[in-house]
Structure 1
């Protein structure tokens, strides 16, 4: 049997965790056939009888005499004619297009790194990542290499105000002209307080690189940081319909309600801007008296009327709430110090609507609109969702349909109808009278009947009645 001893440092790098002299038993083979590919330190070979010297505790000291013959088996190095290997490492970040780190629960940061050895073999090559606290190592994935290059990374280590993540590259030898591209995945803490950007540094090291070629052994990457938020503004029950008479002076109450909330995430300072129609094109006037807020005690809200703006009458369609679709509008700006999750705010726009000039008003239907939208520091926060559609949750509008009714005076029509009917009745009576419709012939008929009866009475005595004697 051949018994091999090597230094503690080299054996420990094999991953066995042994920190004392290493002892390895191999089948007896010629010395020129012994190959250990993972170690760089010279291998010390000793021959002895284990049965005879079983109580001997071997200790290797290359500078002192030993009890047994020692042979040194150096490893072959591909270092050219001079026999000295000089490495030349080149490391850089590969841009993936994701230049913004969005912080949220379960957020991860993927760094794509390319490492090249432009010269001879590099020994004990390593890549060190320097990053802020709150970022920890999760996994490493090799995506491209021109030969088999193992990459092993260790958990992040905290040092002062920064953290370090170390990766061993193809230990112990990173061959000449070798190249590897890998993705380092890091977990990002959602509870950490982040600035607007973070600086990431990567440094490659080797035991045998000349100091004159170290300029490309370091690279930096500055990534913008955004905290993910999910803000929402929506309309609540409001005044949806009113009608006015053009013949009477009256005013009616109009109420528009909005709800602003932070669905999840961290508290966010926000601004809420309202634009409400003051005067429409046809003399409808909304006298906006006040804006009320219903808020938790933890929120501090301040609102102020910025003034009146001139507007325009736009075509009907989807209204974004950012423009004034009337002759003039009120603009109200509210500042919320901290909009906490699950603590919504309710804003109420309240006032009276009236007709300011009835002579110009027409009988038709008008839309009285108001809009609300949320704004925040986009250098620090990012709205959740699809980039193209996430803004639709940041504005809402309320529309009140108003009918102006011109009442008809029916008295002239009623009077005219009555007089006309009376005249027609008189005319009909005259015509009937002229036609003899109203002559009374009953008396004449009665007189004729009486005359006939009298005649009959006179003729009722017999004609042969005896006359008196003479």
Structure 2
């Protein structure tokens, strides 16, 4: 409180009276206190409250770093300005304050100074009023070619406030919200132009189970000013594990964290020529990743590379990000596939099999690794085969097509579909059932040799695997199971037997008659009746 009117010595008896209806008697938006005695009133007033704001600007607003002469420091100018505004109702023309300020250059380091005398702090005192903003310029130097151009200059400004009494004996007070210490930053002008690129060294595809490593060769160039704390971050999918890095050019250090539980991507963080990646410099290095033979890799592996630095900005021509893919061939390990078998079961209105529901699918398991000979031909019923909905034929002119091609397949006949889940390295499937003749009769051919064709193919996750075969354009093969059905007319042999018997008898009669006329039977009889016994010799 300030006394608005001096207390007179005659006021030897004082009483206090506070008005409950009007505390601000002076009109300055601050509470006042009135004291009365013997018909006189003494008014006690609050000091006027003001706000002071400080601002510092620099010219130039960034520190150049392309100075080739490391013996000549950079020059800069700091402009310090103070502004006072009323925080309560005050008399603008009478309010004043004395300001004492201190500017500390580069308060956290030692890269800036005042030339005369050579020191980091400068001081000044002046009287501040509300009529205008008061500014002061201070020249200073920045050391040439400082080692640390990443961390900006942190300049500290602090001031003290002392109110100057006005003609009515009132001196202003500084508002509690005023900041008497502020920090003003000056950045280095560091603009780099980074270009990052990479390739898969010696690989056009990843062959799981055959290849041990995937080598990623990375190159980074800086095509403009020095780059500070430069680094390249590579990301890679689960299934790959970081092994090592090899430097071909420059200075590089790499650390890596593999993906865990397939929830994220692995990350390799490589620093480049730390702390300064010089202008027009280049680094080349190779990061090697191990390939897990049991990993579930997609059909393509995505690798990304991202270059960053601590520079204030990057050139618009910078190439900071690259991503590339490489194909995956899953070999040397079992692949979960579904074998789809389609069997013709009905042609028109006639069943092809005596009982289509009795079709059995069996297989001989093919063993490739250390199998006993007794295991090679072990017939096993596939419990994993499920029958799905039948497929209707795709062609309508069934009989004409069969007569032309003598082929019965799923294009002309309804087919049963079986799906068999397996992870074995190989199977030989066998179909067994009894054929019906009804479907043959409706074709109308008395004799022919038909080809009854069933098919088998694969289904698999095409996002993870690719069937490598130039002949099939990387499509899974379709194998045919062919059964040959021969139809012929049954021959009636009754007439042939009768004719042969009659002909045989006629031939026998002719032979007998011929022998009789030739005297065969008479000569034989004569020889037997006229013969005399020979004489006995003595």
Greater relative contact order (Cα < 8 A, sep 6+): 1
